[in-house]
Every structure is written in structure tokens, then in C-alpha cells.
Amino acid sequence: MKYVKLFFFSLLLTLNAQAQQQNDLIIKNINVIAMTNSEVLKNTSVLFSNGKIKAIADFKELPKNKKTIILNGKGKFLMPGLAEMHSHLPISSKVDTLLMENVAAGITRLRIMNTNTPLVALKNRLESNSSTISPKLYYSHSITRDIDYNAAQFDSLMITIKKNNFDFIKVLSVANEVVFDNLMQAANKHQVIVCGHFPVGVHIEKVLTSGYKSIEHLAGYDKITNTSELGKIIELTKEKEVYNCPTLDWDLMSKNLQYPNEYKNRLVYNNAPKQYVNQWETKYKADLLKQGIATVLLNQQKNQPIFEYKQKILKQLSDNNCLLLMGSDPSTFFQMNGFNLHQEMYNWSQAGIDNFSILKAATITPARFFNEEQLWGTIEVGKTADAIMLEKNPLDDIRNITTVEMTIINGKTYLKKNLVKK
Ligand SMILES: [Zn+2]
């Protein structure tokens, strides 16, 4: 056993030293969750070459050369890397830690839903510094209610967004319906993705038929109390292929729904470094004191039924095969970057969503959102060499997603234990 471990370690050292040259990599005898269906391809081998998945076959059938790195995946599981579809970047030096922690958690794609942070400089820095350990980032330009543009102004904004190579527009809020119409008209003309918060003041039917691509936090839906009306809106959501990113964990944490003790059962709580947990506990206690327990309890009472309704809406969207995105919106205590997505997966499971659908929302559906399903989101020959290796099968129990031990991005390997110290 010791020999095997040493062998594995020396292979990884070689791997790190030669990462620049991108040697071929084979993960041998592993169980593959390709995400093309819910089957597990048992005991097969995967060849990564030049940043792509080159072949999936029996080990002896795979081409090798003397520089090929071979890792033994026996008894383990390989699946596509995860997409965190609702994340925010801080402006400070903490960005690099945030990105690294995402990689450690198995995140290979990050949709950045920023608001006030100027992203162009950050984007330039990250793109010129190849030593930053990072998922592939999708950048947004934020729209807030103080932007009162006419169609021509939005038109030139779209040109700027495309020039800066930004991937989409995130709506925080819109001034009014006319501004919304102007925005959508220009975005559709320039084929720029618009998504984000539900634009308050615009009817949900209009939003769903406008080309708006994803709605965050299940807003808009949560205001519909009539069952048949909700059914009709869900039908329309499906027909117009509008995505939803529920971010249940945002409700759980921002509304104190896990007060007083439930938060201690969070996957993040039990898997995060001790130092983080201690910091969170201190901050949480201070926050509770500041709010006052009476206010916390009142808030909880008011928001618990809304949360339960959101669980039902999510289940109904899933049952109707609507497009769903996994996003965990980490921003406060007990929500560690990257690892919070594992918690959000468990939140969906608690809402009655099956494990395959949960994993789809973090892999192939996000790829489709960015019109990139030909490039990533499944383990198939020709796709980008992005994957994660897990000790246990998340299709058996979604909490097994926390057993991710290695993340592969563009054929480069990163061990969780080297990125995050427990
Ligand atoms: Zn957010």
C-alpha cells in the first residue's frame, strides 16, 4: 500500500513538473459517469491528450508513449467538472484564493454574477497570469436600475460588451418596463445573453418570451399562488427554454433558516478547514447579536413557507423537464467558495430532485446555457479535458460529491489535498 502511495505521489510530481508540456494522461480502470445518461461505464480507461478527451476504452487498447502519465482509478469515479452558475468575485487579493478553492471543490466553470466590481482589469490580469489556478470564467456586465438607456444606448453597450469579450449581461434590477424592452431588443439583435434577477415591474409572461435566458432565485415564480397559473408559467418556461438557477442556499443562509443548530449539519460545515469554521462561528454569533434573536425568529417564520414553496416550484420545474442550473451564490458564513455547490446539490436532493438531474444541472445544462454543449459538460471523446475524480459515486448519494479528490482542467491535474488544507 505504501509503495502504491509513493508511486502515485511520484507520478504526480512528474505530472506537475511536466505540466507545461502537457503529457498525455490516462486514468486507468475507473468508473465513468459520462452524463450522457444515468448509466455508469464500469472499469474503463480515459485518455486525455492536448487538452481533449482523446479516447475512452479498455486500458490495453489505448495508445501510449513513454511520456504518458498513468493514474490508477480503480474503484473510483470520473465525471465532468462542475459548473458553479452563480458566483461573485471580490475585487481584492482574495480572488485567487476564491478561484483555487473552487478548483479544489471540482468546479471547472464559473459564471460570475458580479455587480460593482470592475471586471475588465481583473479579466486581463487573470488571462495574462497563467499560474493562477482557476476554473474557466464567464464574465458579466451588470445592469442596475439607475441605467435608464434608450435602444441606441443599449446598442452601443452591446458593442462594448462584445469588444471586451464578456460572456453575458447580469441584470440586478431594471428601471422600468421600457428600459427592459430596450435592453432585450439590443441584446437579441447582438445575440448577447441576458440573465439575472427577475425584473420587477415586468410581467412574468413577458420576461419568459423576451429572450431572457436565466432567472435567479426562482423570483417571479414564488409570487404565483394559483396552482394552474403556476402550471401555465412552467409550461411557458419549458417552451421558451428559459433556464432557472434556484440558489436555494441563498434563502437558507440569508434568511437564517438554519438557526439555531441546523447549520451544523451543512456539508460545508463538516468539510471546510477548521480555521474557516471557527471564523464563521464568531461572525455568525456577532451577526445574530446585531440582528437580535427576536428579529431572526420573526424572519425565519416569515421566510420558511416561502422557502418550502420554492422547493415545490423547483420540483415542478424538474418534473416538467425545464432547464435548470446549479448555483450556490456563496457570500456569507458557512458558504465556502466552490464547496458550497455541494451543499446546494444536497439542498436540491432535499427538495426531491433525483441525483442524475442534480448532476445535469451542474454539467451539461450549463454547457448548453453558453451554447457550448459540443465542448464540455460530458465525458465524451472530443470534449475538453475537464473532469473530476471522486472516491464515491454521487449517483448513489448526492453527498458523495464531497469525495472529489482531483480536478482536471484542460488536462492538468489538481489534487484537493494540495489546494485546501483541512
Ligand atoms: Zn448573487
Q: How far is the CA of 210 from the centre of ligand 1 (A)?
A: 22
Phi and psi angles of residue 79, each rounded to the nearest 5 degrees, phi first: -140, 170
Q: Which among 225, 274, 419, 258 is positioned nearest to 343, based on CA atoms? A: 258
Q: How far is the CA of 287 from the centre of ligand 1 (A)?
A: 20
Please count the CA atoms within 13 angstroms of the CA of 77 that sit on its side-chain side. 21
The pLDDT score that the predictor gives to residue 122 is 86
If phi > 0 it is left, if psi is from -120 to 50 it is alpha, else beta; for residue 360 that is alpha
Q: How far is the CA of 97 from the centre of ligand 1 (A)?
A: 19
Q: How far is the CA of 217 from the centre of ligand 1 (A)?
A: 9
Q: How far is the CA of 85 from the centre of ligand 1 (A)?
A: 10
Is pLDDT of 3 > 80? Answer: no
Cell numbers 487538452 label which residue? 51
Is pLDDT of 14 > 80? Answer: no
Q: How far is the CA of 5 from the centre of ligand 1 (A)?
A: 41
Cell numbers 438607456 label which residue? 149
pLDDT digits (tens, 9 = 90+) for 302-326: 999 999 999 999 999 999 999 999 9
Cα 21 to Cα 192: distance, rounded to the nearest angstrom: 36
Provide the residue type at 62 as one letter.
L
pLDDT digits (tens, 9 = 90+) for 270-294: 999 999 999 999 999 999 999 999 9
Average pLDDT, the chain: 94
Q: Which among 278, 269, 261, 281 is positioned nearest to 402, based on CA atoms? A: 269
Q: How far is the CA of 250 from the centre of ligand 1 (A)?
A: 8
Q: How far is the CA of 342 from the centre of ligand 1 (A)?
A: 17
Q: How far is the CA of 328 from the centre of ligand 1 (A)?
A: 8
Q: How far is the CA of 112 from the centre of ligand 1 (A)?
A: 9
Q: How far is the CA of 326 from the centre of ligand 1 (A)?
A: 13
Q: How far is the CA of 348 from the centre of ligand 1 (A)?
A: 18
Q: How far is the CA of 51 from the centre of ligand 1 (A)?
A: 31
Q: Which three cell numbers stand for residue 238?
A: 419549458
What share of the chain in percent tops pLDDT 90?
88
The pLDDT score that the predictor gives to residue 118 is 78
Residue 80's H or E segment, with its range, is strand 77-80
Lowest mean pLDDT among 17-26, 61-70, 102-111, 261-270: 17-26
Residue 298's H or E segment, with its range, is helix 293-319
Q: How far is the CA of 283 from the centre of ligand 1 (A)?
A: 20
Cα 382 to Cα 295: distance, rounded to the nearest angstrom: 54
Q: How far is the CA of 386 from the centre of ligand 1 (A)?
A: 25
Phi and psi angles of residue 277, each rounded to the nearest 5 degrees, phi first: -60, -45
Q: How far is the CA of 245 from the centre of ligand 1 (A)?
A: 10
CB 62 within 8 A of CB 45: yes
Q: How far is the CA of 71 from the centre of ligand 1 (A)?
A: 38
Cα 272 to Cα 253: distance, rounded to the nearest angstrom: 16
SS3 of residue 55 by DSSP = strand
Provide the residue type at 107 as one letter.
I
Is pLDDT of 337 > 90? Answer: yes
Please count the CA atoms within 13 angstroms of the CA of 118 that sit on its side-chain side. 4
pLDDT digits (tens, 9 = 90+) for 46-93: 999 999 999 999 999 999 999 999 999 999 999 999 999 999 988 777
Q: How far is the CA of 31 from the centre of ligand 1 (A)?
A: 35
Q: How far is the CA of 244 from the centre of ligand 1 (A)?
A: 13
The pLDDT score that the predictor gives to residue 94 is 87
Is pLDDT of 19 > 50? Answer: no
Q: How far is the CA of 6 from the centre of ligand 1 (A)?
A: 43
User: Is pLDDT larger for residue 337 or for residue 118?
Assistant: 337
If phi > 0 it is left, if psi is from -120 to 50 it is alpha, else beta; for residue 417 that is alpha
Q: 338 vs 86, 134, 140, 216, 396, CA distance in Å?
A: 10, 11, 19, 18, 21
Cα 345 to Cα 266: distance, rounded to the nearest angstrom: 12
Q: How far is the CA of 32 from the centre of ligand 1 (A)?
A: 32
**Residue 8 confidence class, pLDDT cut points 50, 70, 90:** low
In DSSP notation, 396-416 reads: T-GGGGGGEEEEEETTEEEEH
Q: How far is the CA of 200 from the centre of ligand 1 (A)?
A: 16
Is pLDDT of 6 > 60? Answer: no
Q: Which among 101, 96, 55, 95 is positioned nearest to 82, based on CA atoms? A: 101
Identify how many contiguous H helices and E strands the chain contains and give both numbers.
15, 16
Q: How far is the CA of 195 from the centre of ligand 1 (A)?
A: 12
The pLDDT score that the predictor gives to residue 200 is 95
Cell numbers 436565466 label which residue? 214
Q: How far is the CA of 331 from the centre of ligand 1 (A)?
A: 8
pLDDT digits (tens, 9 = 90+) for 374-404: 999 999 999 999 999 999 999 999 999 999 9
Q: How far is the CA of 8 from the centre of ligand 1 (A)?
A: 39
pTM comes to 0.94
Q: Please, which contacts does 290-296 make with residues 24 or more away whose CB atoms are closer than 8 Å?
A: 291/256, 296/256, 296/259
Q: 351 vs 306, 316, 358, CA distance in Å?
A: 13, 10, 11
Q: How far is the CA of 87 from the centre of ligand 1 (A)?
A: 6
Q: How far is the CA of 10 from the centre of ligand 1 (A)?
A: 41
Q: How far is the CA of 88 from the centre of ligand 1 (A)?
A: 6
